[in-house]
Homo-oligomer: A and B are copies of this chain.
């Protein structure tokens, strides 16, 4: 298809510039990743939280299912110190929730920043060792050493930006492309240079302004669910289109059915920004946990501490199918979510985009 061939599809060696967002927490199952890549898009593993061994295992599972390119997303470690007092405060605030979910709090071991860095290095080593073709980053730009190491092994590197300045920094760091995360996007904000207030930019503003200042291919992320969103982002200057929520509700996604159903029954006005689950701000469907933690929001420790502290609660809630205490990350377009296969979704996106495009050729 002539309309799909561009610098990004050539860079990534894929047929369509449709990228499945690297959602962490088990959503991006090998089945989902392979289905997306087999359908001409790019499947992505959300490996931010994953142990190096687990990443290697999943890479091998994906390779059983597809010989097409796929990518892996990692979280760039951000500095933090462990404040025991704050941890005890927030643990105390969450006690009644644990009791409600009949979850016995074990002793939670919180990794130090140094352990986090070691883990990140091991993750990078596995990506190189397994010759994964594409590696993307959230929460910052890794060191020039890491970028060079990957590039020396012919691995394509892609960063994430939420402002024009962050996009420029990614280009300066020699990223091959950059994901522009609009304020519409579900899940964690990738912001690393600016405050949250400064970096909630809608895609209709963010793409053209970034496009005027950045020369590497731009991948639009946030609120895009169908051919209308693809054509809009394309007109604004994007070369690639990242879909998170749209793939999350697909049959192959590893998300809990309760979570999928929550999205399928939500409206655009039901998502909020919260630090309740992880300590880092993220967009998800409002529920009881978010509302309750809002009252003690000053006590919530930073990422990844709060993430470790709520792990048991989220897991217990998932087992009990209680959506009120699960993290229900979603972008601002849940009304457009469907429960189809990834292949059907991609085919539909492609045909709708081509239909809109050809409506301009009269």
Whole-angstrom CA separation of A226 from B236 in the bound complex: 10
**Contact between A208 and B235, CB atoms less than 8 A apart:** no
Q: Which of these, B202, B270, B357, contacts A182 with CB under 8 Å?
A: B202
Whole-angstrom CA separation of A164 from B202 in the bound complex: 17
Most chain-B CB neighbours within 10 Å: which of A164, A200, A205?
A: A205
Most chain-B CB neighbours within 10 Å: which of A3, A208, A222?
A: A208
Whether, in the assembled complex, A183 has its beta carbon less than 8 Å from a beta carbon of chain B, the answer is yes
Q: How far is the CB of A166 from chain B (nearest CB, A)?
A: 9
- Residues of A311-362 contacting chain B, CB below 8 A: 331-333, 335-336, 356-358, 360-362
Q: Which of these, B163, B211, B228, B237, contacts A268 with CB under 8 Å?
A: B163
Whether, in the assembled complex, A298 has its beta carbon less than 8 Å from a beta carbon of chain B, the answer is no
Stretch at the interface among A87-95, A97-105, A191-199: A191-199
**Contact between B203 and A202, CB atoms less than 8 A apart:** yes
Count copies of this chain in the complex. Answer: 2
Whole-angstrom CA separation of A118 from B226 in the bound complex: 47
Q: How far is the CB of A227 from chain B (nearest CB, A)?
A: 8
- Neighbouring B residues of A335 by C-beta, 8 Å: 164, 209, 212
Whether, in the assembled complex, A229 has its beta carbon less than 8 Å from a beta carbon of chain B, the answer is yes
- Neighbouring B residues of A203 by C-beta, 8 Å: 202-204
Q: Which of these, B205, B212, B228, B332, contacts A236 with CB under 8 Å?
A: B228
**Contact between B332 and A205, CB atoms less than 8 A apart:** yes
- Residues of A230-250 contacting chain B, CB below 8 A: 231-233, 235-237
Inter-chain pairs besides A164-B267, A228-B236, A235-B356, 8 sampled, C-beta below 8 Å? A183-B183, A202-B204, A204-B223, A204-B233, A205-B333, A209-B268, A212-B335, A229-B236
